[in-house]
Amino acid sequence: MSSQPIASLPQAILQAHTRLRPHVRETPLDLSLAFSQITGAQVWLKLENLQHTGSFKVRGALNKLLSLPPGQLQKGVVAASSGNHGAGVAYGLHKLRARGVVFVPEGASPTKLEAIRRYGAEVRIYGQSGEDTEVYARQYARQNDMVYISPYNDPEVIAGQGTIGVEIAQQMPQPPDAVFATVGGGGMISGIASYLKSVWPQTQIVGCQPKNDAAMLASIRAGQIVSVEAKPTLSDGSAGGLEPGAITLGLCQQLVDGWVTVSEEEIKAAMRLFLETQHQLLEGAAGVALAAFLQQSVQYQGQKVVIVICGANIGLPMLQAILQ
């Protein structure tokens, strides 16, 4: 897949922002009194957990669907997803009255699978890992003359996720010193960073990953896409490796200023603290960015920090485990 020039991404993100405005929520950017007091920083929470489908992923999925020629859309689309991207694609297909198939890996969250089915998309299970699922789904789309919608490896998807950055820029009274965002395939942070670096070059973009599954960071350190041993993590939304040729690797190499990895205990503690203080649901992937900031918060005392709370889709068994 050809690389999207970084210089052209901010303009594509602004076009996506206009395209998506009737279809997605402008989610709140809330100043958190609790996290500000705990850390000594001015902490703003970008609440994508309140987005349609309970995740930011609907932005990229819808932007891709809305950019397709009608003839292509009528042939149907194929997606691969651990859950949230699939729900975003299914939501978009429901709105546009189109059809599609979502492939998910074995062991995907039942809560997220139910959300995909609720919007009417067909769900098929294939592969042990997200990597395997993506490769198979792309092949299936080619063989059946359907459009494949990647969770992250697509300029239109990245541009859709980047509209979070447009909203942050419009909502913040002053440029933040840092933005913390969880990274799986890298679509969200690539989009956010592309836009924010174009308007606030001095803002630091911090990528956050669980120690148990940090494929992007391993790939950046290696200078090429590598596979890592994926251990179980609360952050199922960011789990899985990168597909060959992923354009997000180059974007993350150039746009992300720093990286933080967090343990499962740190993720759990951050999620509990959010539930106790903000009284909203969040999923494990959202807990990663929060945990990363809490781990590094001494460095940010007196500074303005945005944390992207990327999703709310947590199943009851996992929620109970967090609260125990």
What pLDDT score does 3 carry? 43
Please tell me which residue, 115 or 322, carries the higher pLDDT value.
Answer: 322
At 5, is the pLDDT very low, low, confident or very high (cuts 50, 70, 90)?
A: low
Q: Which residues, including other chains, have CB under 8 Å from residue 81's CB and lie 6 or more apart?
A: 57, 87, 89, 102, 103, 104, 108, 116, 133, 151
- The residues, ordered by sequence, that sit 6+ positions from 292 with a Cβ below 8 Å of its Cβ are 180, 206, 208, 260, 261, 262
Mean pLDDT of 255-272: 98
Residue 4 has pLDDT above 60, yes or no: no
The CATH class of the 6-56+155-323 domain is: alpha beta
**Token pair of 153, please?**
């490896």
Confidence tier at 7 by pLDDT (50, 70, 90) = low
Q: Can you give the pLDDT at residue 233?
A: 94
Is residue 230 within 8 Å of residue 240, measured between CB atoms?
yes
Q: Is residue 2 over pLDDT 50?
A: no
Domain limits, the chain? 6-56+155-323, 57-149
What architecture (CATH level 2) is domain 57-149? 3-Layer(aba) Sandwich (3.40)
- Average pLDDT value for the chain: 94
Is residue 1 over pLDDT 50?
Answer: no
pLDDT in tens, 136-184: 999 999 999 999 999 999 999 999 999 999 999 999 989 999 999 999 9
Point out which residues pair with 262 in neighbouring strands: 210
Give 261's strand partners: 209
d(CA 54, CA 177): 27
Of the candidates 135, 113, 116, the residue with the CA atom closest to the CA atom of residue 240: 135
C-alpha to C-alpha distance for 220 and 223, rounded to whole angstroms: 5
Percent with pLDDT over 70 in the chain: 98
Lowest mean pLDDT among 42-46, 226-230, 238-242: 238-242
At 209, list the tokens: 């990953």
Question: Given this chain, do its domains 6-56+155-323 and 57-149 carry the same CATH topology?
Answer: yes
Which residues in the chain belong to E strands, given as ranges? Answer: 29-31, 42-47, 77-80, 100-104, 122-125, 147-149, 178-182, 204-210, 258-262, 304-309
